[in-house]
Structure 1
Amino acid sequence: MADSILEVLSPHLDSNGPPPPSSSRTSPSLSTDATALKYMNRLTTLSLDSLKSTEPQSISHSAHSTLLSLQALSNRSHKAFIASSDHLSNLQGLIPSLSQEVKKLQNEIPKLDEEAVRFSTRYSKAGENPVLDRRRKAMQLSRNVDRISDILELPALLSTAVSSSAAASGPAAGSLSTNKYSTALDLYSHIKRLQTLYPDSPLVNDIVLQAEDAMKDMTTNLITGLRAQNIRLAAAMRTVGWLRRVAPELENPRGNGGSTSDEGAFGALFLVCRLASLVSTLEALDPLRELADQETKRRTEAPSSEQRSSNSAKTNAWSGGQQTERFLKRYIEIYREQSFAIVSLYKNIFTTEPSSDTELITASISGLKTQPPPKQAKKIDPLQTLPPTVATFPIHLVRLLTDTLRTYLPNVRDKSSRESLLTQVLYCAASLGRLGGDFSMILTELEAEDEEEGEDEESEADGELVREWEQVMRKHRALAGKLEQLTNGPSSAANATKGLLPVSS
């Protein structure tokens, strides 16, 4: 029904409506317009009166509403309409330019493909390229930056450990100092291991140089520790052990493998440090030494024996040597304690060949020449290996004491005081005698040395001194024999009379 009405009304609507579209624009006809069909179906449902009265008003009202809606829409979106219109007008020129750009892109694709192939060929992982090598190294450095920072901190950690161990050294902080030195040695061993693994690395070589400077400071601290007063055996053994690890080249300084013992140069270093400690301790007696020097000066400037009786009333007459006695008594006490401690520490720290150490010490003091052990004859060294340092060290110790006695003992004129001092010297000789360094017979040579100097009065005094020394030794041996006979029997008494057993004071 609606189709039929549309066919009837179609000529009237086309003639009264807008002009038909051009051939290039196609629009649907009224017969196919869904809105028109829907409206025609609605018209068929209305009566004739409604068509004449209400329908025109409804259509007018709808047209007015639609007009108002279009006006509101135009007011709100006129900018978008204008922009759309502009773009639509430019679309005709943009489509040809887009076509040209597409053609140009098609022409450039082969060149792009060639460049991609060339880049992949040049920078492939299979070939060698400096740019890739630098990039690879930079990436590897970025991945290992934490490890490198840890390696760079090793010299600072080593220096801190060495400095803190030196600050913590002392009798009250032995364990702390031990831990710090052990940590420093472990760090240095790790650095040397890195040098072994990476010998061509400039970074590792620089770190090794800094570590060696820190270890030089540690060696200085250890040598200073060996010069400390009243050092214990455990501390001395630890210090020597650390020195062996810090300076292994001192194990065999000659580099020919001809060492007669395991001490290397450490034995001489230890004895020199302990001797320096002994000398510094004896230097503390300088105030008493100055008083003794004044008595020596007064003794040497005193008048001869013929004029002494006439000038006995003078106030500047020389006294009996009380200050010298005080000085010598304290000197001998320190010497006895320190000398025995030095040699005993040496013998406990450094392992030497059995039964040869004591013989070498005794022979060096008595002036005898000891035949070398049989196995030393097989050495190829043309200069022959040197004996242990302890074999010649007691000579210097004894000379230090004898020079002091030769200088100051004549000042003491009181016989009982001299006997007391000589008894102290005898006890000192007996202490070293336990270690094979008995020097009791050396003082008997003072008389011969003084006679060669041509001083009659001094030689006479020294001869009296030697006789007193011999008497003290006889009394000492007799007393030792009696004591040993009461305690251990006649066999021990025989040894005591030979002066081989020490007697306590």
Structure 2
Amino acid sequence: MAETTIANGHRLSDLPSLGEILASSPHASATAAPTWSSPDTTSYLDELTSLPLCELESQPTELSSSSAQLTNALTTLCHTSYPTFLSIHATTSTLASSLSSLSSSLDALVSSLPALESSAASFAVDARAIQKDRRKAALVLEHHDKLYDALSLPVLLDSCVRNHSYAEALLLAQHAAGLATRFPADPLVQSVKAECDARVQAMLAQLLRMLSEQAKLPALFRAVGFLRKMAVLDEPELALAFLTGRGVYLDGLFKTLESERKGVQGDAEHEREAYARYLKRYVDLWREGVYDVITQYTSIFLDRAPSTSAAAHPQLHALLTTFTNLHLQTLLALLQEMLPLIPDPSLLTSLLTQLTYCANSFARVGLDFKGLLAPIFVDAVQKGIEREFNEAAEALCNKIRTGTDGKRPASSISGKKPSQYLVAPSSLPSPPLPTAAQLRALSSGPPNVPPPLLVSYPPLAVYLNAVLTALNGLRLLAPVELLSALLRALDTSLAKGLSALLALTREPPWADAPSRPSAEDAKAEEGVVGAAATVYARVLVPFIRRALVEGVYGVSMGKANMPVGKDLKDVLDKWEGAGAEDGVSRDSEIISA
């Protein structure tokens, strides 16, 4: 649409507004000029220009009415709110002075800001260090439970070790090792790890000490299991530690018996029984202890060995073999030392039976040592029987030489006549001699029935009883290979007795007596000695030799080639020679008697 044009060719939009006209009016004051251009005035003038004439004419009246109303309202407001206006006035006055004071204060504040800035910077530096410490403290407080658990590991580990809770102790040790691996540069964690390692070493010592104490298979199996979990020793070393500990325990048991062994030494009356009792208890302890060790070792290391140690099985077997051989040699050495002190074959038989049962039980685990016992017992039997033969011969010789059993000095009985001790008083008038029938019965009668003739000669009867006592004991344990050796020992013992009788014949003790006997009495004494020697050579010697060969070993004297020993043969030859010098045949004397 084309713009509206007016006269002189001007457009309507180019004409000034009512506000501009009023502002440029000469009647308008300079102070009111800005009012005409205000938005409210412009809006009101625009509204007036749009009103019709009638409304324009009524505007002054409306404005006067509104002015009067406003004046009344202001008057009422001033009348009712004058205190407020007074307060506002006072406040305005005070505000003016305060603003000036504030301005001066602001100037002072601005001048002090550099110092404040430097102080704030210094405070920030100090605060950062404090904040760092506080952050550390806060971090410690936040992880207090975890830190407490870590620091409590050594105490808990020590408590577990003391209470034998080894599984829990190993778990705690593994946890400490894991922490040390995760925090290798942390000194606190490494310190905890070191303390835990010390407790683990104490647990290791405690477990190894358990191996040397009294314990059954479950406890030992448990201890070895924990030692395996600790991975401190490999399987052969662990087996060696086990055998060493059990060996220490067995040595402790044997030492308790050693005091009993020392306590019986010097007690001659009960010495044999005491030594036998000691050996029986020792063998019982040895059997139980060593057998338990073998079965425990087999169950722990051989039957249930870990798969990782399969290559070490030969070494494990070698360790067990060494252990058993060592203790077996100890037992055999003790038997070799102690058995000769127990000459009683009945006690030896009991010990041999006990050891045989022991060897049979060990045969089930591959340690049959019955073959090693025979030489030891054979030697013990030989020494014991030979000792008894020698003691009997010495007692007889003392009786023949001094007329006593050797308990009194010879000086107190010097010059004692043989008739006073060689022959029984009832047989003194005519000392009995063996007849031919008695000699024949001696070789054909039972070998275990002593000849009654020996009762007339008490020293010979005592000697016979001592020898028969030894032979009766030998019947319980008579090694076949000892027959020849024992017969030689018996011949030596018999030779000593006959030699003493021959010496009594050559050097009669009554010849040096203060009151020399008459020739008739001297001849009677010689007859007593000769009769005793004859009975000894013709009765006692054959009977005792036959009692050993036939009575103990059941070997016929006629079938067996048992020559007389050299010592006995020499003495018998001397006895025969002494009879020939006297011009008397021993056989003729015996037959005529």
1:497 alignment counterpart:
none
- Residue 323 of structure 2 is aligned with which of 390, 393, 405? 393
2:152 alignment counterpart:
153
8 Å Cα contact 2:157-2:196 kept in structure 1: yes
Distance 2:241 2:221 in 1: 13
Gaps in structure 2 of 5+ consecutive residues = 1-70, 81-89, 388-472, 482-593
Deviations 1:379-433 (A, max 9, x none): xxxxx98973212111221122122212222222221210110121122222222
Decide whether aligned partners of structure 1 residues 32 and 281 sit closer, same or farther in structure 2, where only a CA change above 3 A counts: closer
Is the counterpart of residue 222 in structure 1 residue 221 in structure 2? no
1:194 alignment counterpart:
179
Distance 2:79 2:324 in 1: 139
Compute the displacement of 1:163 (Å). 1.2
2:232 alignment counterpart:
249
1:332 alignment counterpart:
283
Query: 3-state DSSP class of the match of 2:302?
Result: coil
Distance 2:78 2:252 in 1: 130
Distance 2:157 2:177 in 1: 13
2:350 alignment counterpart:
420
Distance 2:277 2:362 in 1: 23
1:123-138, aligned counterparts within 5 Å? 137-138=136-137
Amino acid in structure 2 at the alignment position of 1:203: L
8 Å Cα contact 1:162-1:218 kept in structure 2: yes
8 Å Cα contact 2:343-2:384 kept in structure 1: no
8 Å Cα contact 1:321-1:412 kept in structure 2: yes
Distance 2:263 2:273 in 1: 10
- Residue 284 of structure 1 is aligned with which of 250, 253, 256? 256
Distance 1:234 1:386 in 2: 20
Distance 1:348 1:471 in 2: 42
Compute the displacement of 1:268 (Å). 1.2
Query: 3-state DSSP class of the match of 2:236?
Result: coil
- Residue 239 of structure 1 is aligned with which of 223, 237, 243? 223
Structure whose alpha-carbon radius of gyration is higher: 2
1:89-128, aligned counterparts within 5 Å? 95-105=99-109
8 Å Cα contact 1:227-1:277 kept in structure 2: yes
Query: 3-state DSSP class of the match of 1:400?
Result: helix
1:7-406, aligned counterparts within 5 Å? 33-34=75-76, 95-105=99-109, 137-165=136-164, 180-229=165-214, 231-246=215-230, 248-251=231-234, 263-294=235-266, 321-351=272-302, 388-406=318-336
8 Å Cα contact 1:320-1:414 kept in structure 2: no
8 Å Cα contact 1:292-1:408 kept in structure 2: no
1:436 alignment counterpart:
366
Number of matched pairs:
311
Distance 1:249 1:37 in 2: 108
Compute the displacement of 1:445 (Å). 5.4
Distance 2:123 2:148 in 1: 36
Distance 2:339 2:233 in 1: 42
8 Å Cα contact 1:288-1:324 kept in structure 2: no
2:468 alignment counterpart:
none
* Structure 1 stretch displaced more, 202-211 or 104-113: 104-113
Amino acid in structure 2 at the alignment position of 1:282: F
Distance 1:213 1:34 in 2: 100
Compute the displacement of 1:156 (Å). 0.8
Decide whether aligned partners of structure 1 residues 31 and 234 sit closer, same or farther in structure 2, where only a CA change above 3 A counts: closer
Deviations 1:453-476 (A, max 9, x none): xxx968967xx99x959679xxxx
Decide whether aligned partners of structure 1 residues 272 and 415 sit closer, same or farther in structure 2, where only a CA change above 3 A counts: same
Distance 1:37 1:351 in 2: 121
Distance 2:183 2:152 in 1: 17
Query: 3-state DSSP class of the match of 2:232?
Result: helix
Distance 1:91 1:160 in 2: 80
Deviations 1:164-193 (A, max 9, x none): 22xxxxxxxxxxxxxx22111211111111
TM (norm. structure 1) is: 0.51
Deviations 1:206-252 (A, max 9, x none): 111211222222223222322232x2222211110111223x2311x
TM (norm. structure 2) is: 0.44
Distance 1:322 1:218 in 2: 46
8 Å Cα contact 1:291-1:324 kept in structure 2: no
Decide whether aligned partners of structure 1 residues 405 and 292 sit closer, same or farther in structure 2, where only a CA change above 3 A counts: farther
Amino acid in structure 1 at the alignment position of 2:103: S
1:412-491, aligned counterparts within 5 Å? 412-444=342-374, 446=376, 468=477
Query: What percent of counterpart residues are identical?
Result: 28
Compute the displacement of 1:32 (Å). 6.6
Gaps in structure 1 of 5+ consecutive residues = 1-28, 39-84, 124-128, 166-179, 252-262, 299-317, 355-372, 377-383, 473-505
Decide whether aligned partners of structure 1 residues 119 and 471 sit closer, same or farther in structure 2, where only a CA change above 3 A counts: farther
Distance 2:158 2:265 in 1: 48
Decide whether aligned partners of structure 1 residues 353 and 470 sit closer, same or farther in structure 2, where only a CA change above 3 A counts: farther
